[in-house]
Amino acid sequence: MIYQKNIERIEELVENQNEWRSSTINLIASENVMSKRARRLMGSDFCHRYAEGHPGERYYQGTEIIDEIESRVKQHLKSLLDCEHLEVRPVSGTVANDTVFSRYIRPGDIVMVNSTSGGGHISHHRHGSVGKYSSNIINFPLMPDGYHIDVKETINILERVPVKVLIMGKSLYLFPDPVKELAPLCRDKGIALIYDAAHVLGLIAGKRFPDPLKEGADVVIASTHKTFFGSQRGIIYSNMKDTDWIKIDKGAFPGSSSNHHLDTLVSLAMTTFEFIVFGEAYADQVVRNAKTLAGALEKRGFTVEGKEFGYTQSHQVALNVKDLGGGDEAARVLKDNNIICNMNLLPFDPLSKATNPSGVRIGVQEMTRVGMEEKEMETIAELMKRCLLDGKYVGEDVRDFRKNYQIIWYSFDDDFIALEKSKQLSCTHGKV
């Protein structure tokens, strides 16, 4: 009987999570939601199975069906991202990072990265993946605004210091990194230019953010569940020579993975097809929503970072909330009002402020996926203003607001397809 109660409690907690999160405004910049059809594919027999190696070259029998699925995922992602080589076996973006870093960074190598307070991801630093291979890590110099790399000073450093690897891409990522400006010098000096597109993969695939491969990056690593609305996995892709790609291939298997979580790979197949059809429209709406939300927050009295550059060119908005108790306090108050985001260091914050930094990081990609557009961004800004600036409880207002946004847009779900057909019919009859 005691086991039955424990089992029922776990089931109850899962139901509580499902109900609660579907009634919140989720602004976590590293999360998204999958369509119902993609989610239904998870938990199939594939969650029990192994498939080491490549399709057609497995170390196990009985893999013919997953071989076809994996081959299709790679084929369609290559087409979507316009690349020659693509690896889908990493089970997360950080595992993809480690796969690549382990191939390029030798002990003692000088590696240049975006600083933690400058937006760099923890895996790029001493306590993360890069730190496993070298402790000789230096930061990109930043422009006074803190959100742009100082290209001129970076070139000066690269001319004087024997840097072996540049790692671009960020976790707090409002504006593009200067891949195009630095790639020629990297090629001349034999510096590997690695681009971490974890946050902006969907914007790149949707043609709303610069393409790092076209701008000169050697290899791109990414998560598939942030602006790209797939299952939680990682990918690596490149246009390098076949002989150079071999080291990435070996880094993925056996270097960083054995079995590669086949049930989530199947869901990635579905979401890749959705992105091929809907990705450009989705990415365009994401960027427009981020810009609208940033302006609406500024208009209501918040200090929004990057104003002089148009606030953002990505899915993210950064708020400076140091006068509101700091990022930890602001994020906690918002969560208690059913608005979910995370505290974040802002440029030039000391690392000692990591537990209560100056900033809050906001991402609009998930709320875009449930059908929110510019007018809804104004509503979100007003709710945040009433909560943080006016000190009012808006949790029930948030729940009421979110009730109208339960359909997953840009998907093959029946309810979205029905919604699209209804719109087309209304337009045909002059009702819209």
Looking at residue 1, its pLDDT comes to 66
Same domain, 43 and 176: yes
Same domain, 61 and 106: yes
Looking at residue 190, its pLDDT comes to 97
Q: What is the pTM of this model?
A: 0.95
- Does residue 5 fall inside a structural domain? no
- Does residue 197 fall inside a structural domain? yes
Place of tokens 């208690």: 336
* Domain membership of residue 81 as a residue range: 39-271
Angle made by CA atoms 249, 252, 253, in degrees to the nearest 5: 90
CB 176 within 8 A of CB 197: no
Same domain, 212 and 263: yes
CATH number (domain holding residue 348): 3.90.1150.10
CA dist., res. 38 & res. 48, Å (int): 18
Q: What total of structural domains would you count in the chain?
A: 2
CA dist., res. 273 & res. 102, Å (int): 31
Same domain, 221 and 126: yes
Same domain, 267 and 306: no
- Does residue 302 fall inside a structural domain? yes
Q: What is the pLDDT of residues 137-155, one digit of tens each?
A: 999 999 999 999 999 999 9
Looking at residue 41, its pLDDT comes to 94
Same domain, 366 and 301: yes
Same domain, 71 and 143: yes
- Does residue 166 fall inside a structural domain? yes
Q: Pick the more confident residue, 408 or 422.
A: 408
Same domain, 372 and 304: yes
- Of 271, 288, 313, the one marking the end of a domain is 271
Same domain, 285 and 321: yes
The pLDDT-based confidence of 425 (bands split at 50, 70, 90) is low
Q: What is the pLDDT of residues 243-257, one digit of tens each?
A: 999 999 998 888 888
Q: Which of 59-63, 155-159, 278-282 has the lowest mean pLDDT?
A: 59-63
Q: What is the pLDDT of residues 307-351, one digit of tens each?
A: 999 999 999 999 999 999 999 999 999 999 999 999 999 999 998
CATH number (domain holding residue 173): 3.40.640.10
Q: Mutual orientation of helices 374-384 and 262-299 as an angle, nearest 10°? A: 70
CA dist., res. 232 & res. 226, Å (int): 9
Looking at residue 431, its pLDDT comes to 45
What number is the average pLDDT over the span 91-101?
94
Looking at residue 122, its pLDDT comes to 84
Looking at residue 422, its pLDDT comes to 79
Q: What is the pLDDT of residues 351-397, one digit of tens each?
A: 888 899 999 999 999 999 999 999 999 999 999 999 999 999 999 99
Q: What is the pLDDT of residues 176-233, one digit of tens each?
A: 999 999 999 999 999 999 999 999 999 999 999 999 999 999 999 999 999 999 999 9
CA dist., res. 384 & res. 390, Å (int): 9
Same domain, 284 and 209: no
